Amino acid sequence: MASVSFKHVYKRFAGDVVAVKDLNIEVADKEFLVLVGPSGCGKSTSLRMLAGLEEISEGEIWIGDRIVNNVAPKDRDIAMVFQSYALYPHMTVYENMAFGLRLRHTPKTVIDQRVKEVAKSLGIEQLLDRKPRQLSGGQRQRVAVGRAIVREPAVFLMDEPLSNLDAKLRVEARAFISRLHQRLGTTFIYVTHDQVEAMTMGTRIAVMNAGELQQIDTPPALYEHPANVFVAGFIGSPAMNFFENARLVEQDGKMMVDTGVFRILVAPSRYDIYRPYLGQEVILGIRPENIHDAHFTPPAIQPSPLAANVDVVEQMGHEKIVYLEEGGKNFVARLDPRTDAVVGQRIDVVVDVNSMHLFDKKTEKALQ
């Protein structure tokens, strides 16, 4: 078992391209850390530097109590699961799983014991004599994970291992990998662009953008207290609604956010935090799930009412995703399935003022 540390790590490519900039992350022993962000944000490059597949331009990477900058990948005590699974097509499942152990000259009896035990735990013991072309996507994914497990590494690295699976299999695989982490009690570092995977699997999430770490925290903390506009917009589905060029104003002793079309009350508990910004332009953020049909308002919220036109209604069964428009401003709401929202009509909704977010207009950082 081992912890992992990125200390002021940079990755530069030719042409002054900085793929990773001053990355500092401490991953605790047995933690499940997810690196998440859009394509090109540096998450896979960071994982590959940890694995030794990319050279580090500057900084240090530690695994346990040793710097691994100049340590060969095979000597880093890590195992990696790739997006493509990287199975050898001419080998059977058994041979694929045993290959890494054979390279280390592990005794045949130990190899046989480990491969069969791991195959049984993953539910693929009946597939050991098959070739990869005879397997489904989900089965290949389990073989790739099994190949990593038999090595008993200190750290598991996973680079978007579920992206080739269909939606149903991805849900099953997420639960499978989470249970696997709990059972093995090993450090996992997992890369994905899918924020749903990140939120459901990680004990902590590191959000990256343009090569820089934006925020690292637990899933609930990222959701409830995003550090900036990027994190707020990336975490959550559908994404947070943003109203730019809003302004904090005060009227009759009440503070509110004026979007230019409608006004949203500010919770009194936040007056002291927001008072220095009165009269200034801010960015208002409201998650779709914090907008409710006025006829089905949850009892625990502090509502601020407004009316809007219904543009699109998506019936999801357990909820309705409703696209609204008012005065040229478009926003999305996740409403109670009983709502009678009809395209082309107006609807009365309320915003939970305890759950809205304000960001500095210039820095895009959260006002906290």
270-285 average pLDDT score? 94
Residue 192, pLDDT above cutoff 80: yes
Residue 45, pLDDT above cutoff 70: yes
Cite the residue boundaries of each domain of the chain with CATH code 2.40.50.140: 241-360
pLDDT of residue 86: 82
φ, ψ of residue 115 to 5 degrees: the values are -60, -45
The span from the CA of 184 to the CA of 367, in Å, is 40
DSSP letter for 240, please: P
Cite the residue boundaries of each domain of the chain with CATH code 3.40.50.300: 4-234
Secondary structure of residue 301 in the 3-state scheme = coil
Q: What is the CATH number assigned to the segment(s) 4-234?
A: 3.40.50.300
Q: What is the largest CA-CA distance in the chain?
A: 81
pLDDT tens, position by position, 107-119 = 999 999 989 988 8
163-186 average pLDDT score? 83
Residue among 39, 4, 2, 1 at smallest CA distance from 23 = 4
**Token pair of 241, please?**
């609604």
Residue among 52, 118, 43, 114 at smallest CA distance from 83 = 43
Q: Give percent above pLDDT 70 in the chain.
A: 100
Residue 178, pLDDT above cutoff 80: yes
Q: Where on the phi/psi map is residue 94: left (φ > 0), alpha (ψ -120 to 50), or beta? A: alpha
64-82 average pLDDT score? 91
Q: Around Cβ 163, how many Cβ atoms within 10 Å?
A: 13
pLDDT tens, position by position, 250-267 = 988 899 999 999 999 999
Residue 179, pLDDT above cutoff 90: no
- Average pLDDT, whole number, for the chain? 92
What is the C-alpha radius of gyration for the chain, rounded to an integer number of angstroms? Answer: 25
Which has the minimum average pLDDT: 18-22, 137-141, 238-242, 349-353?
137-141
The span from the CA of 76 to the CA of 185, in Å, is 18
Read off the pLDDT band of 335 (50, 70, 90). very high
CATH topology of domain 241-360: OB fold (Dihydrolipoamide Acetyltransferase, E2P) (2.40.50)
pLDDT of residue 1: 61
Tell me the pTM: 0.88
**Token pair of 213, please?**
């770490």
**Token pair of 131, please?**
């070739």
**Token pair of 324, please?**
């609204």
